[in-house]
């Protein structure tokens, strides 16, 4: 009986190990070796150039505003209180005003008598703005202390009582078109301009006292 048990165990273990051997998987490892150029391998392993310091493109933040030039002849005449001649009442456009405002630089010299040895060299008078029409300059009066809402028609009805008006200019702001407080009136005759100064100077007009005087050439 003991021999039978030993034989039985032997057969059992034999078949058991045989069965386990058949169940095992065999894995075959295959290694393929290739020859690669050393320089090519280095190039393949290179890192991208300047990746760390790459800066994303940004849009410009500074805004530059370009404005058209304002130093034109018409703006110069409108923005200053120089005495000058003025356009006709019917000529309202800027082009006609430019043509009528002609600035001439003139110099007057005083001759020196030749018999005076101690006399100085000829003296030059300061430059001033003079109109090409001397008669208009002598018949022009300057009106100041006007209201901002005054109209040319108001001045025409007031100063027209003293004589025939040939030209009138009311200075206005370029942006608001309101009065700058002064105007110029040119009469056809000097006597009419003189009468306007005598009657309307210190005259109360729309709750303001007017100053009416002869238009003088600027010393600038």
* Tens of pLDDT, residues 110-128: 444 445 445 444 444 333 3
Q: What share of the chain is helix, strand, coil (3-state, %, to 5)?
A: 30, 20, 50
Q: What is the rounded CA–CA span in Å between residue 57 and residue 52?
A: 15
pLDDT computed for residue 41 by the predictor: 79
Selection from 214, 33, 74, 76 nearest residue 140 by Cα: 214
- What global pTM score does this model have? 0.41
CA R_g for the chain: 52
Give the model's confidence band at 44: pLDDT under 50 very low, under 70 low, under 90 confident, else very high: confident
The alpha carbon torsion through 201, 160, 92, 171 (nearest 10 deg) reads 10
Question: Mean of the pLDDT values across residues 148-160?
Answer: 92
Q: What kind and span of H or E run contains 173? A: none
pLDDT computed for residue 198 by the predictor: 93
pLDDT computed for residue 110 by the predictor: 43
pLDDT computed for residue 85 by the predictor: 47
Mean pLDDT across the chain: 70
Beta strands 208-209 and 204-205, pairing class = antiparallel
Q: Which two tokens stand for residue 105?
A: 């630089």
Give the model's confidence band at 133: pLDDT under 50 very low, under 70 low, under 90 confident, else very high: very low
Structure-token match 């069965």, residue found: 19
The answer to whether 212 touches 142, Cβ cutoff 8 Å, is yes
Cα 55 off chain centre by: 34
DSSP 128-171: EEE-S-HHHHHTEEEEES--TT--HHHHHHHHGGGS-EEEEEEE
Domains of the chain: 73-214 (3.30.70.330)
Selection from 56, 120, 105, 94 nearest residue 177 by Cα: 94
Give the model's confidence band at 53: pLDDT under 50 very low, under 70 low, under 90 confident, else very high: low
Burial of 162 (0-12, 13-18, 19+ CB in 10 A): buried
pLDDT computed for residue 160 by the predictor: 93
152 pLDDT more than 60: yes
Q: What is the rounded CA–CA span in Å between residue 204 and residue 49?
A: 85
């Amino acid at each position: 009986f003991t021999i039978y048990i030993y034989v039985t165990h032997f057969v059992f273990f034999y078949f058991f190990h045989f069965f386990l051997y058949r169940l095992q998987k065999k894995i075959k490892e295959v290694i393929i070796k290739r020859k690669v150029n050393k320089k090519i391998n280095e190039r393949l392993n290179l890192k991208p150039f300047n990746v760390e310091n790459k800066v994303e493109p940004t849009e410009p933040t500074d805004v530059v505003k370009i404005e058209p030039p304002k130093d034109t002849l018409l703006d110069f005449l409108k923005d200053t209180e120089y005495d000058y001649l003025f356009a006709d009442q019917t000529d309202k456009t800027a082009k006609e005003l430019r043509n009528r405002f002609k600035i001439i630089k003139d110099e007057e010299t005083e001759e020196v008598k030749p018999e005076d040895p101690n006399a100085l060299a000829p003296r030059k008078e300061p430059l001033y703005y003079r109109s090409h029409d001397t008669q208009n300059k002598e018949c022009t009066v300057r009106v100041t202390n006007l209201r901002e809402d005054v109209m040319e028609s108001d001045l025409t009805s007031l100063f027209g009582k003293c004589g025939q008006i040939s030209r009138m200019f009311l200075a206005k702001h370029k942006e608001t078109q309101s009065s700058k407080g002064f105007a110029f009136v040119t009469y056809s005759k000097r006597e009419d301009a003189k009468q306007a100064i005598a009657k309307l100077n210190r005259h109360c007009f729309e709750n303001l006292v007017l100053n009416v005087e002869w238009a003088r050439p600027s010393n600038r």
